[in-house]
Each structure stands twice: as structure tokens, then as C-alpha cells.
Amino acid sequence: MKMADTGKREVCEDADETCKPTAAKRPKCGAENQPDCDGGGECANVLSGFKVKSVLRDSARDKTIFIHGTVEDQEAVVILEKTPMRQDDLAEIFQECRLKLQMKNDIYSTYQLQPPAHLNEIKTTVICPATQKHVKKYLSQEMFLVEETGEDYLSTTLPYIESQSFSVQWVYNILEKKAEADRIVFEDPDPDTGFVLLPDFKWDQKQLYDLYLIAIVHRRNIKSLRDLTSDHLPLLRNISKKGKESIQKQYGMPACKLRVYLHYQPSYYHLHVHFTSLNYDAPGCGVERAHLLTDVIMNLEADPQYYQNRTITYTLRADDNLLLRFREAGRC
């Protein structure tokens, strides 16, 4: 198994309040000297000045905390996630750890174990400058189900996403090799059917159980599942075939161990496909959001306009303005 290079890195998105990219507003976040594509090595502590404003979400089960704060004078979201144990590290952990006895009773004892520092890392994602939309994305919220018809999409959803969606500058940076070029696992450069496959930033690449890659298409005019027609079948089949082959080659994981799907609604409106390990309960892989690529291909083979016409059900957060628009239109 060949694992790609790993490492701590910061992700800084280029976005203003309306979530559109601006060249002028570069992230400060203490990261001025760290270009978008830098990764892998020790870096300056850009979080030393991070001031916590609020905890957006906190899951003891997932051992993850989402924090809203500021770095210098800029809004930031920081996600801290305890990384899973790795079998390969066990020998070193047992040999090098410090143990503190908590209690002993007959054959039972519990300890606090401190592993060596390098085996005790916390995966850290930094979004800076963060927009209000980022803050909302990570805030715990009540969810509501909407059933979006093809007409709803044209009259309500499309105008909304055209005015409100997240910047996809990070996607263009990947496609143009301005960021994460060293992380690319596979590329098919064909402008119509090609794509870039690389580790999703949710995956720290330390173990395969939570393998997570994304395939980002080179074509720039496909926002989401809703835009797909039978014309895109060669593109989708290509992603399915070459994406699976590359993951088998690079990580030794066969296609039958992969969950390959698109999100609807996505957060970023530039077509991309998620490849996750079947063992991993990835966020957003539930039936109300994930559409298996094989199903998408078969639906388009059966009906070229399937995704323009069919009603698609998904959830929206209570404070999502799209939900408000659906309510104003009397659609939920």
C-alpha cells in the first residue's frame, strides 16, 4: 500500500461576505508566508492568536469540536478532531507512554495513558477568513426536509444558489495546480471528460478506514446533479472507472469497498464526486443527501432529462435562507 504524503496544513479560502472570491481580500490569519499549495512540514503557529467566540458544535462521540473565533481581526472557523488509533503505532505507544493509575479492583484497572506527543495529534482544519455562511454550515441546527421539484429548482433554488453559494476558488486552485498539486492522486486532463482525484480535506490519510477522496471535474459549467443530462455520461463513467482504478492502485482498496456518490445539495457548486471507504460513516453519506454514482449513471441512461424533472428530497437547516424561500413560495 502506498500512502500519499500527509501533513498539517491550513486551508484558507478566498471569500468575502457574499461568498464571492476577491483578489484584494487575502487571508491574514498569520498565514501570509504560507502559500495555498504549501503542505507537509512544520509551520508557524497561526493559531496562537486565535480568540474563541463560541463553540458551534461539539460531538463527544466523534471527538470533534467546531469553534468560531477570530485570528487577528478576521473571522475564523477552526475544527479540531482527535485522530483514530492506528494499529501500526501500538508498539510505540505501549513502549513510550506514561501511565497514571486511576483505579484498581481485583482483575480490573483503569489508567490515563499519555502517548508520545507525535502519536497524539489533533487534526485541525482552519477556515480563514470565514464567512457567515461557513459559521452557519458548522452550527448545530434543527433540520427540515424539502421536496424540490424541477420547477422549484428553476424558480427558487437556482436564483438562490447563484446569489449565495460558497466561493469555489479552492476548486480552481486545485484544477490550476495553484494549491494541493502535490496531493493529486490521479488526473485525466481531458477538458470534457477529465477530472482531478485527490484526498478530501476531511481525510488526514493516516489510515484507510476513513479513506475519503474527491474527484473534481475539469468542466466548469456543471453546478450539481441538477445540471446532469445523458450528455455527461462519458464524464461520469470515466470518473467511476478511473477513480476506482486509481484508488485500487494507490491504496489497494477495491471498488467493492468504496461508496462513490454525489451530494445534493452540495456546499460547493462545481461538480465533484465523493469516494469514501464503505467502512466509514462519512458525514453526508445518508439517503437524504448522497446519490450513488452508479444510480446517477443508470438514471441518465434510462432518461436523459432525469435530473431536470425529478423531485429531489433533501434537508435544509432552520436558518438556511433557501428554506425561507421555500416557505415563502408555500413549498414547505
Annotated binding-site ranges: 170, 180, 200, 202, 263-274
User: Is the Cβ of residue 206 or residue 303 nearer to ligand M7G in the bound state?
Assistant: 206
Q: How far apart are CA 313 and CA 266, in angstroms?
A: 13
Smallest distance from the beta carbon of 154 to ligand M7G, in angstroms?
Answer: 21
Smallest distance from the beta carbon of 273 to ligand M7G, in angstroms?
Answer: 9
**Interaction between residue 284 and ligand M7G (CB under 6 A):** yes
Q: How far apart are CA 208 and CA 279, in angstroms?
A: 9
Binding ligand M7G (rule: CB under 6 A), the pick from 144, 186, 201, 280 is 201
Residue 217: exposed, middle, or buried by beta-carbon count in 10 A (0-12, 13-18, 19+)?
A: buried
> Are 205 and 3 within 8 A, CB to CB?
yes
Contact region with ligand M7G (CB under 6 A), list: 19-27, 39-47, 200-208, 227-235: 200-208
Please enumerate, by residue number, every residue annotated as part of a binding site for substrate.
170, 180, 200, 202, 263-274
Q: How far apart are CA 192 and CA 57, in angstroms?
A: 40
Q: How far apart are CA 239 and CA 327, in angstroms?
A: 37
**Interaction between residue 211 and ligand M7G (CB under 6 A):** no
Smallest distance from the beta carbon of 6 to ligand M7G, in angstroms?
Answer: 13
**All residues at 6 or more sequence positions from 131 whose CB lies less than 8 Å from its CB, including other chains:** 15, 16, 17, 19, 75, 166
Smallest distance from the beta carbon of 99 to ligand M7G, in angstroms?
Answer: 36
Whether 232 sits among the annotated catalytic residues: the reply is no
Binding ligand M7G (rule: CB under 6 A), the pick from 27, 30, 129, 266 is 266
- DSSP per-residue codes, 85-115: P-GGGHHHHHHH-EEEEEEEETTEEEEEEE-
**Interaction between residue 202 and ligand M7G (CB under 6 A):** yes
Catalytic sites, residue numbers: 272
Positions touching ligand M7G (CB under 6 A) are 11, 170, 180, 198, 200-202, 214, 263, 266-268, 272, 284
